[in-house]
Amino acid sequence: MSESLAVFRRIVPRDRALLALLAEHYLLSTPQIAAAFFDSRRVAQRRLTTLHRLGVVHRFAYPNAENTAVPYLYTLGPVGLQLHPDAYIDPDGRHTKAPRTSIELARRIAVSATAAHLLGVNQFFIDLLTTARHSSALGTPDARLVRWWSEQHATDVYAQANIRPDGHGIWQARDHTGTRSVGFFLEHDRGTEDLPRVVAKLRGYARLAEFGPRYPVLLWLPSAEREANVLRLLTGVRTPMPVATAVHGPDPAGRVWTLAADLPASPGRRRRLHELPSDHGPRTGTNPGRHRD
């Protein structure tokens, strides 16, 4: 018992912030954790190794055909799961029973068909966290990721609209016009679905706009060609919520977003994330049982 208590005493606030993300978002890679919480990857690796040895987190690595080094992926360990007994436990939505142990949960995540997709979604939000960290480090806290919800969290909260966003966030930033807070729903596209199906996902968001927030739907696309094809489908289509597109890159907060409503009048215009139109609506749809801002 005393050894267990000693482990809890060694968990610092930064570790707790990491565990909260793993409880909500299943897994993060070493580079992602380093970018969000540490000043260097080497320091991050040392701390993560310590947390792994203490049983706070589990780690594993995907093998690859080239047998080259790959970064570890981290999930909640037995101590982390004790601290977060309400963690999400089923990335594929196919298990009827909760895992008996943290190692069983880690195995579910490791073999999940959605693991690569999860990492891509999480990278989007990690890049926003990194932007916010750098802003604070310069002594000018102009940007902040106020909310980051997983697919399951957002799906639960907005069940009435029957939407399944890959993630939901609220991004706050300040410029010469003042501070703006922009909610958004992320659709992380990997090029595996045909374009009409991608665009069809907007119907649920249209239903949500009837009674809830009118947040922009962000179509985060893998190539400029796919973005151009999506924008062709959206040109002239009126939607009750804003729709914006951009190509995968390291700066989703930057001037990378094309607002579909700007077309065809302003085909070359790109906006920053905080410049997108956003209406928080009559209520923001929070669920007190699983509210993790």
Report pLDDT for 287: 41
Report pLDDT for 267: 79
Domains, the chain, with CATH or none:
2-113 (1.10.10.10), 116-288 (no CATH)
Give 120-184 as a 3 state SS string: HHHHHHHHHHHHHHHHHHCCCCCEEEEEEEEHHHHHHHCHHHCCCCCEEEEEEEEECCEEEEEEE
pLDDT tens by residue, 17-42? 999 999 999 999 999 999 999 999 99
The mean per-residue pLDDT over the stretch 221-242 comes to 94
pLDDT tens by residue, 158-215? 999 999 999 999 999 988 888 999 999 999 999 999 999 999 999 999 999 999 999 9
C-alpha to C-alpha distance for 94 and 131, rounded to whole angstroms: 35
pLDDT tens by residue, 171-184? 999 888 889 999 99
* Cβ atoms 106, 216 nearer than 8 A: no
Q: Is the pLDDT of residue 227 over 80?
A: yes
Q: What is the DSSP letter of 28?
A: E
* Cβ atoms 290, 153 nearer than 8 A: yes
Task: Give the burial string for 181-206 (b: 16+ CB within 10 Å, else e).
Answer: ebbbbbbbbeeeeeeeebbebbebbe
* Cβ atoms 36, 133 nearer than 8 A: yes
| 91 backbone dihedrals φ, ψ, rounded to 5° | -65, -25
Name the pTM for this structure: 0.92
pLDDT tens by residue, 93-126? 888 899 999 999 999 999 999 999 999 999 999 9
Report the amino acid identity of residue 121: V
Q: What's the mean pLDDT when you consider all of the chain?
A: 91
Which residues lie below 8 Å from residue 249, measured CB to CB, with a gap of 6+? 256
